[in-house]
Amino acid sequence: MKLTRFSSSASWALGAAGIAWAVASVAPGPAVPVKFTDITAAAGIKFTHNSGKAGKKWLPETLGSGGAFFDADQDGWPDIILVNSKDWTPRGRKSLHALYRNNKNGTFTNITAGSGLDVEMYGLGVAAGDYDNDGKDDLYITALEGDRLFRNEGGGKFRDVTKAVGISNANFGTSAAWLDYDRDGKLDLFVANYVQWTAKGDLWCSLDGATKSYCTPESYKGTQSKLYRNLGGKFEDVSEKAGLGDPTSKSLGVVVFDYNGDGWPDLFVANDTQPNKLYRNNKNGTFTEEGMVAGVAFGEDGVARGAMGVDFGDYDRSGRPHLIVGNFSNQMLGLYHNEGTGLFVDEAPTSAVGRASLLTLAFAVFFWDYDLDGYLDIFAANGHIEEEIGRVQPKVSYKEPPHLFRNLGKRKFEETTAKVGAELSRPIVARGAAYADIDRDGDLDLLITSNHGPAYLYRNDGGNKNRFLCLKLVGTKSNKSAIGATVRLESASGRQWNTVRSGSSYCSQSDLALTFGLGSDPTVTKLDIEWPSGAKQTLTNIAANQFITVEEGTGIIAKAGPAR
Protein backbone atom coordinates (compact mmCIF):
# COMPACT_ATOMS: atom_id res chain seq x y z
CA MET A 1 0.00 0.00 0.00
CA LYS A 2 1.43 3.37 -0.99
CA LEU A 3 0.24 5.75 1.70
CA THR A 4 1.39 9.35 1.75
CA ARG A 5 -0.78 10.72 4.52
CA PHE A 6 1.12 12.41 7.34
CA SER A 7 0.03 11.31 10.79
CA SER A 8 -0.50 14.76 12.26
CA SER A 9 -1.78 13.34 15.53
CA ALA A 10 1.58 11.77 16.34
CA SER A 11 4.29 13.73 18.09
CA TRP A 12 7.40 13.67 15.92
CA ALA A 13 10.00 14.96 18.36
CA LEU A 14 12.87 14.33 15.96
CA GLY A 15 15.51 16.46 17.60
CA ALA A 16 14.63 15.60 21.19
CA ALA A 17 14.78 11.89 20.56
CA GLY A 18 17.90 12.11 18.44
CA ILE A 19 16.25 10.54 15.41
CA ALA A 20 17.16 13.37 13.05
CA TRP A 21 20.60 11.86 12.42
CA ALA A 22 21.82 11.88 8.89
CA VAL A 23 22.27 8.39 7.51
CA ALA A 24 25.83 7.29 8.13
CA SER A 25 28.03 7.37 5.04
CA VAL A 26 30.56 4.96 6.52
CA ALA A 27 29.93 1.40 5.30
CA PRO A 28 30.68 -1.71 7.35
CA GLY A 29 34.27 -2.91 7.27
CA PRO A 30 35.37 -6.09 5.49
CA ALA A 31 33.45 -9.19 6.51
CA VAL A 32 35.08 -11.25 9.23
CA PRO A 33 34.73 -15.06 8.96
CA VAL A 34 32.04 -16.24 11.38
CA LYS A 35 30.95 -19.79 12.06
CA PHE A 36 28.01 -20.89 14.18
CA THR A 37 28.93 -24.13 15.92
CA ASP A 38 26.23 -26.42 17.32
CA ILE A 39 27.25 -26.91 20.95
CA THR A 40 23.87 -28.21 22.18
CA ALA A 41 25.14 -31.58 23.37
CA ALA A 42 28.55 -30.31 24.51
CA ALA A 43 26.85 -27.58 26.56
CA GLY A 44 24.58 -30.08 28.30
CA ILE A 45 21.31 -28.95 26.73
CA LYS A 46 18.96 -31.93 26.46
CA PHE A 47 15.46 -30.72 25.70
CA THR A 48 12.69 -31.92 23.40
CA HIS A 49 9.53 -29.93 22.94
CA ASN A 50 6.25 -31.84 23.16
CA SER A 51 3.40 -30.35 21.10
CA GLY A 52 1.07 -33.12 22.24
CA LYS A 53 0.35 -34.19 18.68
CA ALA A 54 -1.31 -37.58 18.43
CA GLY A 55 -2.91 -37.56 15.00
CA LYS A 56 -5.85 -35.24 15.69
CA LYS A 57 -4.11 -32.25 14.11
CA TRP A 58 -5.31 -29.69 16.62
CA LEU A 59 -4.41 -26.07 15.91
CA PRO A 60 -2.16 -25.36 18.95
CA GLU A 61 0.19 -28.18 17.87
CA THR A 62 1.44 -25.99 15.01
CA LEU A 63 2.72 -23.09 17.12
CA GLY A 64 5.59 -24.52 19.13
CA SER A 65 7.11 -22.80 22.16
CA GLY A 66 9.86 -20.32 22.78
CA GLY A 67 12.80 -19.77 25.08
CA ALA A 68 14.64 -16.96 26.77
CA PHE A 69 18.05 -15.87 27.97
CA PHE A 70 17.85 -14.26 31.41
CA ASP A 71 19.86 -14.14 34.63
CA ALA A 72 18.07 -16.62 36.89
CA ASP A 73 20.57 -16.52 39.76
CA GLN A 74 21.95 -12.95 39.60
CA ASP A 75 25.52 -13.95 38.81
CA GLY A 76 25.77 -11.77 35.71
CA TRP A 77 25.78 -14.65 33.21
CA PRO A 78 22.82 -15.47 30.92
CA ASP A 79 20.89 -18.60 31.85
CA ILE A 80 18.26 -20.34 29.69
CA ILE A 81 14.57 -21.16 30.09
CA LEU A 82 12.95 -23.44 27.49
CA VAL A 83 9.15 -23.53 27.46
CA ASN A 84 7.34 -26.83 26.94
CA SER A 85 3.83 -27.90 26.07
CA LYS A 86 2.28 -31.25 27.00
CA ASP A 87 0.16 -34.23 25.98
CA TRP A 88 -3.55 -33.64 25.49
CA THR A 89 -4.35 -36.74 27.52
CA PRO A 90 -1.96 -38.21 30.11
CA ARG A 91 0.46 -40.84 28.76
CA GLY A 92 2.33 -41.55 31.94
CA ARG A 93 5.05 -38.96 31.30
CA LYS A 94 5.52 -35.32 32.21
CA SER A 95 6.63 -32.62 29.82
CA LEU A 96 8.27 -29.84 31.81
CA HIS A 97 9.93 -26.54 31.05
CA ALA A 98 13.72 -26.65 31.36
CA LEU A 99 15.80 -24.18 33.38
CA TYR A 100 19.53 -24.26 32.64
CA ARG A 101 22.12 -22.48 34.79
CA ASN A 102 25.16 -21.10 32.99
CA ASN A 103 28.32 -22.72 34.40
CA LYS A 104 30.50 -19.91 32.99
CA ASN A 105 32.61 -22.39 31.01
CA GLY A 106 30.46 -22.99 27.93
CA THR A 107 28.26 -25.58 29.66
CA PHE A 108 24.91 -25.49 31.44
CA THR A 109 23.34 -27.47 34.29
CA ASN A 110 19.66 -28.38 34.33
CA ILE A 111 18.27 -26.99 37.61
CA THR A 112 14.58 -27.39 36.81
CA ALA A 113 13.81 -29.89 39.58
CA GLY A 114 12.67 -28.02 42.66
CA SER A 115 12.94 -24.63 40.94
CA GLY A 116 9.21 -23.96 41.01
CA LEU A 117 9.20 -23.97 37.22
CA ASP A 118 8.84 -27.75 37.17
CA VAL A 119 5.12 -27.58 36.41
CA GLU A 120 3.29 -29.09 33.48
CA MET A 121 1.33 -26.71 31.27
CA TYR A 122 0.64 -26.21 27.59
CA GLY A 123 3.18 -23.42 27.43
CA LEU A 124 4.00 -21.22 24.45
CA GLY A 125 5.80 -17.97 25.23
CA VAL A 126 8.03 -16.41 27.88
CA ALA A 127 9.06 -12.89 28.92
CA ALA A 128 11.59 -11.93 31.60
CA GLY A 129 11.59 -8.76 33.67
CA ASP A 130 11.87 -7.58 37.28
CA TYR A 131 8.24 -6.65 37.89
CA ASP A 132 8.70 -6.04 41.65
CA ASN A 133 12.02 -4.15 41.38
CA ASP A 134 13.86 -6.43 43.79
CA GLY A 135 16.86 -6.99 41.50
CA LYS A 136 15.83 -10.45 40.27
CA ASP A 137 14.42 -11.34 36.84
CA ASP A 138 10.90 -12.78 37.06
CA LEU A 139 9.25 -14.93 34.38
CA TYR A 140 5.87 -14.72 32.69
CA ILE A 141 4.95 -17.88 30.76
CA THR A 142 1.97 -17.91 28.42
CA ALA A 143 -0.10 -21.06 28.14
CA LEU A 144 -3.18 -22.35 26.40
CA GLU A 145 -5.03 -23.11 29.63
CA GLY A 146 -3.88 -20.00 31.50
CA ASP A 147 -0.68 -17.96 31.81
CA ARG A 148 1.51 -17.96 34.92
CA LEU A 149 3.72 -15.35 36.57
CA PHE A 150 6.70 -16.80 38.43
CA ARG A 151 8.40 -14.54 40.96
CA ASN A 152 12.15 -15.04 41.26
CA GLU A 153 12.87 -15.89 44.90
CA GLY A 154 16.65 -15.99 44.37
CA GLY A 155 19.11 -18.82 43.87
CA GLY A 156 17.26 -20.21 40.87
CA LYS A 157 13.99 -20.67 42.79
CA PHE A 158 10.63 -19.36 41.57
CA ARG A 159 7.13 -19.06 43.03
CA ASP A 160 3.83 -18.95 41.14
CA VAL A 161 2.18 -15.65 42.10
CA THR A 162 -0.34 -15.41 39.26
CA LYS A 163 -3.50 -15.39 41.36
CA ALA A 164 -1.92 -13.36 44.16
CA VAL A 165 -1.12 -10.45 41.82
CA GLY A 166 -4.47 -10.51 40.03
CA ILE A 167 -3.46 -11.76 36.59
CA SER A 168 -5.96 -13.99 34.80
CA ASN A 169 -5.34 -14.71 31.13
CA ALA A 170 -6.65 -17.97 29.67
CA ASN A 171 -7.06 -16.70 26.10
CA PHE A 172 -4.46 -18.72 24.13
CA GLY A 173 -1.54 -16.49 25.10
CA THR A 174 1.46 -16.48 22.75
CA SER A 175 4.16 -13.78 22.93
CA ALA A 176 4.45 -11.38 25.86
CA ALA A 177 6.52 -8.31 26.73
CA TRP A 178 7.24 -6.26 29.83
CA LEU A 179 7.12 -2.48 29.41
CA ASP A 180 6.59 0.65 31.45
CA TYR A 181 3.90 2.22 29.29
CA ASP A 182 2.99 4.90 31.86
CA ARG A 183 6.59 5.58 32.93
CA ASP A 184 5.88 5.23 36.64
CA GLY A 185 8.93 3.06 37.34
CA LYS A 186 7.01 -0.24 37.51
CA LEU A 187 6.91 -2.84 34.75
CA ASP A 188 3.56 -3.42 33.10
CA LEU A 189 2.77 -6.44 30.93
CA PHE A 190 1.39 -6.91 27.42
CA VAL A 191 0.20 -10.38 26.40
CA ALA A 192 -0.56 -11.30 22.78
CA ASN A 193 -3.53 -13.68 22.54
CA TYR A 194 -4.24 -15.77 19.45
CA VAL A 195 -7.70 -17.18 18.62
CA GLN A 196 -10.78 -18.67 20.23
CA TRP A 197 -10.05 -22.40 20.24
CA THR A 198 -11.09 -25.43 22.27
CA ALA A 199 -10.52 -29.12 21.74
CA LYS A 200 -14.26 -29.64 21.37
CA GLY A 201 -14.51 -26.80 18.89
CA ASP A 202 -11.55 -27.86 16.73
CA LEU A 203 -12.50 -27.60 13.04
CA TRP A 204 -11.91 -30.05 10.21
CA CYS A 205 -9.66 -28.74 7.42
CA SER A 206 -7.95 -30.57 4.58
CA LEU A 207 -5.24 -29.97 2.00
CA ASP A 208 -6.53 -32.64 -0.37
CA GLY A 209 -10.21 -32.87 0.56
CA ALA A 210 -9.79 -36.36 2.01
CA THR A 211 -7.52 -36.27 5.08
CA LYS A 212 -7.52 -33.84 7.99
CA SER A 213 -4.84 -31.18 8.03
CA TYR A 214 -4.09 -28.27 10.33
CA CYS A 215 -6.45 -25.33 9.91
CA THR A 216 -5.14 -21.85 9.35
CA PRO A 217 -6.45 -19.13 11.69
CA GLU A 218 -9.00 -17.81 9.17
CA SER A 219 -11.21 -20.63 10.41
CA TYR A 220 -11.34 -19.29 13.97
CA LYS A 221 -12.54 -16.11 15.62
CA GLY A 222 -9.98 -13.70 17.02
CA THR A 223 -9.61 -12.70 20.64
CA GLN A 224 -8.50 -9.75 22.73
CA SER A 225 -4.89 -9.30 23.79
CA LYS A 226 -4.20 -8.01 27.30
CA LEU A 227 -2.45 -5.08 28.94
CA TYR A 228 -1.88 -5.38 32.69
CA ARG A 229 -0.90 -2.26 34.63
CA ASN A 230 1.46 -2.78 37.55
CA LEU A 231 -0.04 -1.13 40.63
CA GLY A 232 2.80 -2.24 42.90
CA GLY A 233 2.18 -5.76 44.14
CA LYS A 234 -1.00 -6.15 42.08
CA PHE A 235 -1.91 -5.89 38.40
CA GLU A 236 -4.99 -4.34 36.83
CA ASP A 237 -6.40 -5.38 33.43
CA VAL A 238 -6.51 -2.07 31.55
CA SER A 239 -6.87 -3.51 28.03
CA GLU A 240 -10.21 -1.83 27.30
CA LYS A 241 -9.38 1.39 29.15
CA ALA A 242 -6.10 1.73 27.24
CA GLY A 243 -7.69 1.19 23.83
CA LEU A 244 -6.16 -2.23 23.22
CA GLY A 245 -9.39 -4.24 23.45
CA ASP A 246 -9.72 -5.22 19.79
CA PRO A 247 -11.50 -8.64 19.81
CA THR A 248 -10.72 -9.48 16.17
CA SER A 249 -6.92 -9.71 16.43
CA LYS A 250 -5.09 -13.01 16.14
CA SER A 251 -1.82 -12.00 17.74
CA LEU A 252 1.44 -13.96 17.71
CA GLY A 253 4.18 -11.36 18.16
CA VAL A 254 4.77 -8.06 19.91
CA VAL A 255 7.54 -5.50 20.01
CA VAL A 256 7.74 -2.44 22.25
CA PHE A 257 9.43 0.53 20.59
CA ASP A 258 9.21 4.31 20.42
CA TYR A 259 8.41 4.63 16.73
CA ASN A 260 7.72 8.38 16.73
CA GLY A 261 10.57 9.43 19.01
CA ASP A 262 8.48 11.14 21.69
CA GLY A 263 10.05 9.21 24.56
CA TRP A 264 7.02 7.00 25.26
CA PRO A 265 6.83 3.26 24.42
CA ASP A 266 4.53 2.27 21.57
CA LEU A 267 3.42 -1.24 20.54
CA PHE A 268 3.51 -3.16 17.26
CA VAL A 269 1.43 -6.34 17.35
CA ALA A 270 1.88 -8.97 14.61
CA ASN A 271 -1.41 -10.62 13.68
CA ASP A 272 -1.96 -13.85 11.77
CA THR A 273 -4.36 -13.23 8.83
CA GLN A 274 -5.67 -10.05 10.48
CA PRO A 275 -4.25 -6.54 10.05
CA ASN A 276 -1.16 -5.83 12.14
CA LYS A 277 -1.64 -3.16 14.79
CA LEU A 278 0.55 -0.15 15.57
CA TYR A 279 -0.50 1.40 18.86
CA ARG A 280 0.77 4.93 19.52
CA ASN A 281 1.15 5.81 23.20
CA ASN A 282 -0.91 8.91 23.99
CA LYS A 283 1.07 9.56 27.19
CA ASN A 284 -2.12 9.47 29.27
CA GLY A 285 -2.62 5.73 29.75
CA THR A 286 -4.27 5.20 26.38
CA PHE A 287 -3.14 4.19 22.90
CA THR A 288 -4.31 5.08 19.38
CA GLU A 289 -4.14 2.44 16.63
CA GLU A 290 -2.35 3.73 13.51
CA GLY A 291 -1.36 0.58 11.61
CA MET A 292 -3.19 1.42 8.39
CA VAL A 293 -2.12 5.07 8.37
CA ALA A 294 1.48 4.01 8.97
CA GLY A 295 1.47 1.39 6.20
CA VAL A 296 2.20 -1.65 8.40
CA ALA A 297 -1.27 -3.23 8.66
CA PHE A 298 -1.27 -5.12 5.35
CA GLY A 299 1.02 -6.44 2.65
CA GLU A 300 1.65 -4.51 -0.54
CA ASP A 301 -1.43 -6.11 -2.09
CA GLY A 302 -3.68 -4.72 0.64
CA VAL A 303 -4.27 -8.17 2.16
CA ALA A 304 -3.51 -9.07 5.77
CA ARG A 305 -0.58 -11.48 5.96
CA GLY A 306 0.18 -14.38 8.28
CA ALA A 307 2.47 -12.46 10.63
CA MET A 308 4.34 -14.27 13.40
CA GLY A 309 7.37 -12.73 15.13
CA VAL A 310 8.62 -9.14 15.07
CA ASP A 311 11.51 -6.94 16.17
CA PHE A 312 12.80 -3.41 15.62
CA GLY A 313 16.23 -1.97 14.90
CA ASP A 314 17.97 0.95 13.22
CA TYR A 315 19.54 -1.04 10.40
CA ASP A 316 20.58 1.99 8.31
CA ARG A 317 21.81 4.23 11.15
CA SER A 318 19.17 6.81 10.30
CA GLY A 319 18.37 7.26 13.98
CA ARG A 320 14.89 5.79 13.49
CA PRO A 321 13.51 2.38 14.54
CA HIS A 322 12.52 0.09 11.66
CA LEU A 323 10.59 -3.19 11.79
CA ILE A 324 11.23 -6.78 10.70
CA VAL A 325 8.16 -9.08 10.60
CA GLY A 326 8.08 -12.84 10.03
CA ASN A 327 5.33 -13.94 7.65
CA PHE A 328 3.78 -17.11 6.20
CA SER A 329 5.24 -18.89 3.18
CA ASN A 330 4.66 -17.19 -0.20
CA GLN A 331 4.52 -13.82 1.59
CA MET A 332 8.20 -12.99 2.35
CA LEU A 333 9.50 -11.13 5.39
CA GLY A 334 8.31 -7.62 6.03
CA LEU A 335 11.15 -5.07 6.30
CA TYR A 336 9.42 -1.82 7.19
CA HIS A 337 11.60 1.28 6.90
CA ASN A 338 10.53 4.13 9.18
CA GLU A 339 10.45 7.26 7.03
CA GLY A 340 10.25 9.55 10.06
CA THR A 341 6.91 11.07 9.03
CA GLY A 342 4.53 8.52 10.50
CA LEU A 343 4.91 6.26 7.46
CA PHE A 344 6.72 2.94 7.04
CA VAL A 345 7.70 1.53 3.63
CA ASP A 346 8.27 -2.22 3.14
CA GLU A 347 11.70 -2.58 1.53
CA ALA A 348 11.68 -6.39 1.42
CA PRO A 349 10.17 -6.74 -2.10
CA THR A 350 13.10 -4.82 -3.61
CA SER A 351 15.84 -6.40 -1.51
CA ALA A 352 17.65 -9.70 -1.01
CA VAL A 353 15.61 -10.10 2.17
CA GLY A 354 12.36 -10.44 0.24
CA ARG A 355 13.69 -12.61 -2.57
CA ALA A 356 15.30 -15.13 -0.22
CA SER A 357 12.34 -15.38 2.15
CA LEU A 358 9.44 -15.74 -0.29
CA LEU A 359 8.95 -19.50 0.11
CA THR A 360 9.90 -19.89 3.77
CA LEU A 361 7.61 -19.51 6.78
CA ALA A 362 9.26 -17.30 9.40
CA PHE A 363 8.32 -17.45 13.08
CA ALA A 364 11.08 -15.79 15.15
CA VAL A 365 12.84 -12.77 13.65
CA PHE A 366 15.22 -10.22 15.11
CA PHE A 367 17.93 -7.65 14.43
CA TRP A 368 21.38 -8.32 15.90
CA ASP A 369 24.99 -7.57 15.05
CA TYR A 370 26.39 -11.10 14.76
CA ASP A 371 29.73 -9.98 13.29
CA LEU A 372 30.13 -6.87 15.50
CA ASP A 373 30.77 -4.54 12.58
CA GLY A 374 28.38 -1.93 13.96
CA TYR A 375 25.53 -2.60 11.53
CA LEU A 376 22.45 -4.62 12.50
CA ASP A 377 21.97 -7.91 10.70
CA ILE A 378 18.77 -9.99 10.44
CA PHE A 379 17.96 -13.51 11.64
CA ALA A 380 14.80 -15.47 10.82
CA ALA A 381 13.89 -18.91 12.21
CA ASN A 382 11.79 -20.84 9.71
CA GLY A 383 9.53 -23.89 9.64
CA HIS A 384 6.14 -24.71 8.15
CA ILE A 385 3.05 -25.74 10.12
CA GLU A 386 1.94 -28.62 7.88
CA GLU A 387 4.06 -31.78 7.51
CA GLU A 388 2.47 -32.63 4.16
CA ILE A 389 2.79 -29.19 2.59
CA GLY A 390 5.22 -30.49 -0.03
CA ARG A 391 2.48 -32.64 -1.57
CA VAL A 392 0.43 -29.60 -2.61
CA GLN A 393 3.19 -26.99 -2.82
CA PRO A 394 6.31 -28.78 -4.10
CA LYS A 395 8.53 -25.71 -3.66
CA VAL A 396 7.62 -25.33 0.03
CA SER A 397 9.11 -27.57 2.74
CA TYR A 398 8.05 -28.49 6.27
CA LYS A 399 11.62 -28.33 7.61
CA GLU A 400 13.42 -25.19 6.51
CA PRO A 401 16.85 -23.64 7.10
CA PRO A 402 16.96 -20.25 8.82
CA HIS A 403 17.86 -16.98 7.12
CA LEU A 404 20.89 -14.96 8.21
CA PHE A 405 21.23 -11.66 6.39
CA ARG A 406 24.41 -9.62 6.76
CA ASN A 407 24.01 -5.85 6.60
CA LEU A 408 26.12 -4.42 3.78
CA GLY A 409 25.26 -0.80 4.58
CA LYS A 410 23.23 1.59 2.46
CA ARG A 411 20.05 -0.43 3.22
CA LYS A 412 21.35 -3.55 1.49
CA PHE A 413 21.67 -7.11 2.79
CA GLU A 414 23.12 -10.39 1.59
CA GLU A 415 22.10 -13.84 2.80
CA THR A 416 25.06 -15.47 4.55
CA THR A 417 23.39 -18.61 5.98
CA ALA A 418 25.47 -20.93 3.82
CA LYS A 419 28.67 -19.11 4.75
CA VAL A 420 28.49 -19.55 8.54
CA GLY A 421 28.65 -23.35 8.71
CA ALA A 422 26.56 -26.32 7.70
CA GLU A 423 25.19 -26.81 11.21
CA LEU A 424 23.16 -23.61 11.24
CA SER A 425 21.90 -24.05 7.68
CA ARG A 426 20.31 -27.48 8.20
CA PRO A 427 16.51 -27.57 7.82
CA ILE A 428 14.45 -27.77 11.03
CA VAL A 429 10.91 -26.87 12.12
CA ALA A 430 12.01 -23.74 13.98
CA ARG A 431 9.78 -21.58 16.13
CA GLY A 432 11.42 -19.43 18.85
CA ALA A 433 14.87 -17.86 18.79
CA ALA A 434 16.96 -15.63 21.04
CA TYR A 435 20.53 -14.38 21.40
CA ALA A 436 23.00 -13.71 24.21
CA ASP A 437 26.73 -13.84 24.79
CA ILE A 438 26.70 -17.10 26.76
CA ASP A 439 30.49 -17.38 27.09
CA ARG A 440 31.23 -13.67 27.50
CA ASP A 441 33.72 -13.56 24.67
CA GLY A 442 32.08 -10.50 23.13
CA ASP A 443 30.02 -11.95 20.28
CA LEU A 444 26.40 -13.09 20.33
CA ASP A 445 25.42 -16.75 20.48
CA LEU A 446 22.11 -18.21 19.32
CA LEU A 447 19.29 -20.33 20.75
CA ILE A 448 16.60 -21.85 18.49
CA THR A 449 13.59 -23.92 19.54
CA SER A 450 11.83 -26.34 17.24
CA ASN A 451 8.25 -27.58 17.23
CA HIS A 452 7.89 -31.11 18.66
CA GLY A 453 11.67 -31.40 18.50
CA PRO A 454 14.92 -30.37 20.18
CA ALA A 455 16.27 -26.97 21.10
CA TYR A 456 19.58 -25.94 19.53
CA LEU A 457 22.36 -23.81 20.99
CA TYR A 458 24.94 -22.32 18.60
CA ARG A 459 28.20 -20.68 19.61
CA ASN A 460 29.37 -17.71 17.58
CA ASP A 461 32.97 -18.36 16.54
CA GLY A 462 34.71 -15.41 14.94
CA GLY A 463 32.37 -12.49 15.51
CA ASN A 464 34.72 -11.13 18.17
CA LYS A 465 37.45 -10.51 15.63
CA ASN A 466 35.71 -7.14 15.63
CA ARG A 467 35.41 -5.01 18.78
CA PHE A 468 32.37 -4.55 21.00
CA LEU A 469 30.88 -2.87 24.03
CA CYS A 470 28.28 -4.66 26.16
CA LEU A 471 26.13 -2.69 28.61
CA LYS A 472 23.90 -3.90 31.39
CA LEU A 473 21.70 -1.11 32.73
CA VAL A 474 20.22 -0.96 36.24
CA GLY A 475 17.35 1.42 36.91
CA THR A 476 16.75 3.26 40.18
CA LYS A 477 13.96 5.76 39.52
CA SER A 478 13.24 3.73 36.39
CA ASN A 479 12.31 0.06 36.56
CA LYS A 480 15.21 -2.05 37.84
CA SER A 481 15.48 -3.99 34.55
CA ALA A 482 15.92 -0.67 32.70
CA ILE A 483 13.42 -1.86 30.09
CA GLY A 484 12.74 1.11 27.83
CA ALA A 485 16.12 2.77 28.38
CA THR A 486 17.80 3.94 25.17
CA VAL A 487 21.56 4.02 24.66
CA ARG A 488 23.13 6.19 21.94
CA LEU A 489 26.84 5.97 21.29
CA GLU A 490 29.42 7.56 19.05
CA SER A 491 32.70 6.04 17.85
CA ALA A 492 35.06 6.68 14.97
CA SER A 493 32.82 4.90 12.46
CA GLY A 494 29.66 6.78 13.38
CA ARG A 495 26.59 6.71 15.59
CA GLN A 496 24.34 3.86 16.65
CA TRP A 497 21.71 3.23 19.27
CA ASN A 498 19.49 0.57 20.82
CA THR A 499 16.81 0.19 23.49
CA VAL A 500 16.56 -2.35 26.31
CA ARG A 501 13.46 -4.41 25.63
CA SER A 502 11.53 -7.46 26.69
CA GLY A 503 9.72 -9.68 24.22
CA SER A 504 10.31 -9.38 20.43
CA SER A 505 11.20 -12.44 18.33
CA TYR A 506 8.44 -15.08 18.65
CA CYS A 507 7.40 -16.36 22.08
CA SER A 508 10.99 -15.70 23.17
CA GLN A 509 13.32 -13.13 24.66
CA SER A 510 16.97 -12.28 24.18
CA ASP A 511 19.39 -11.01 26.83
CA LEU A 512 18.45 -7.61 28.30
CA ALA A 513 22.09 -6.50 28.06
CA LEU A 514 22.87 -4.42 24.96
CA THR A 515 25.81 -5.47 22.77
CA PHE A 516 27.15 -2.90 20.30
CA GLY A 517 29.53 -3.92 17.55
CA LEU A 518 32.34 -1.40 17.03
CA GLY A 519 34.19 -2.86 14.06
CA SER A 520 37.81 -1.73 14.41
CA ASP A 521 36.99 1.30 16.59
CA PRO A 522 39.13 1.24 19.77
CA THR A 523 36.96 3.61 21.83
CA VAL A 524 33.42 4.81 22.35
CA THR A 525 33.95 8.54 22.46
CA LYS A 526 30.50 9.38 23.82
CA LEU A 527 27.64 7.35 25.25
CA ASP A 528 24.26 8.85 26.16
CA ILE A 529 21.63 6.99 28.18
CA GLU A 530 18.00 8.11 28.20
CA TRP A 531 16.23 6.41 31.12
CA PRO A 532 12.47 5.74 31.17
CA SER A 533 12.23 8.12 34.14
CA GLY A 534 13.38 10.95 31.88
CA ALA A 535 16.84 11.13 33.46
CA LYS A 536 19.85 11.36 31.14
CA GLN A 537 23.47 10.31 31.64
CA THR A 538 26.54 10.81 29.51
CA LEU A 539 29.76 8.78 29.61
CA THR A 540 32.87 9.50 27.55
CA ASN A 541 35.97 7.74 26.27
CA ILE A 542 35.08 4.12 27.06
CA ALA A 543 37.55 1.55 25.80
CA ALA A 544 36.19 -1.18 23.52
CA ASN A 545 35.98 -4.88 24.41
CA GLN A 546 34.37 -4.38 27.81
CA PHE A 547 31.30 -5.46 29.72
CA ILE A 548 30.10 -2.52 31.79
CA THR A 549 27.19 -2.13 34.21
CA VAL A 550 25.69 1.33 34.49
CA GLU A 551 23.33 2.35 37.28
CA GLU A 552 20.87 5.20 36.82
CA GLY A 553 22.11 8.30 38.62
CA THR A 554 25.44 6.72 39.58
CA GLY A 555 27.34 5.75 36.44
CA ILE A 556 29.56 2.74 35.79
CA ILE A 557 29.42 0.40 38.78
CA ALA A 558 31.21 -2.61 37.24
CA LYS A 559 33.64 -3.35 34.43
CA ALA A 560 35.02 -6.59 33.02
CA GLY A 561 36.91 -7.77 30.00
CA PRO A 562 35.98 -10.77 27.85
CA ALA A 563 36.40 -14.25 29.30
CA ARG A 564 38.77 -15.57 26.67
Query: Which of 337, 348, 344 has the alpha carbon at shortest distance from 294?
Result: 344
Helix (H, G, I), strand (E, B) or coil at 144: coil
d(CA 276, CA 1): 14
> What strands lie across the sheet with 412-415, from one edge to the other?
362-368, 377-382, 403-409, 412-415
Note the pTM of the prediction, 2 decimals. 0.95
Q: Is 413 exposed, middle or buried (0-12, 13-18, 19+ CB in 10 A)?
A: buried
DSSP 149-187: EEEEEETTEEEE-HHHHT----S-EEEEEEE-TT-SSS-
Give pLDDT, residue 93. 86
pLDDT attached to residue 6: 30
**For the segment 221-230, what is each residue's pLDDT rounded down to a tens digit?**
999 999 999 9
Give the span between the Cα atoms of 437 and 286, in whole angstroms. Answer: 36
Bridge partners (DSSP) listed for residue 241: none
pLDDT at 18: 44
Closest CA to 167 of 150, 184, 186, 144: 150
Contact residues for 211 (Cβ-Cβ < 8 A; gap 6+): none
Please, where are the H alpha helices in 231-337? Answer: 239-242, 291-294
Helix residue ranges per DSSP H, 312-414: 352-357, 389-392
Question: What is the phi-psi region of residue 41: left when phi exceeds 0, alpha when psi lies from -120 to 50, beta otherwise?
Answer: alpha
Task: Please give the single-letter amino acid code of residue 545.
Answer: N
Residue-level pLDDT, tens digit, the chain, 564 residues: 333 223 333 333 443 344 455 554 578 988 999 999 999 999 999 999 999 998 899 999 999 999 999 999 999 999 999 999 999 998 888 999 999 999 999 999 999 999 999 999 999 999 999 999 999 999 999 999 999 999 999 999 999 999 999 999 999 999 999 999 999 999 999 999 999 999 999 999 988 888 898 988 888 999 999 999 999 989 999 999 999 989 999 999 999 999 999 999 999 999 999 999 999 999 999 999 999 999 999 998 899 999 999 999 999 999 999 999 999 999 999 999 999 999 999 999 999 999 999 999 999 999 999 999 999 999 999 999 999 899 889 999 999 999 999 999 999 999 999 999 999 999 999 999 999 999 999 999 999 999 999 999 999 999 999 999 999 999 999 999 999 999 999 999 999 999 999 999 999 999 999 999 999 999 999 999 999 999 999 999 999 999 999 999 999 999 999 986
Q: Return the amino acid letter for 261.
A: G
pLDDT tens-digit series, residues 7-50: 333 333 443 344 455 554 578 988 999 999 999 999 999 999 99
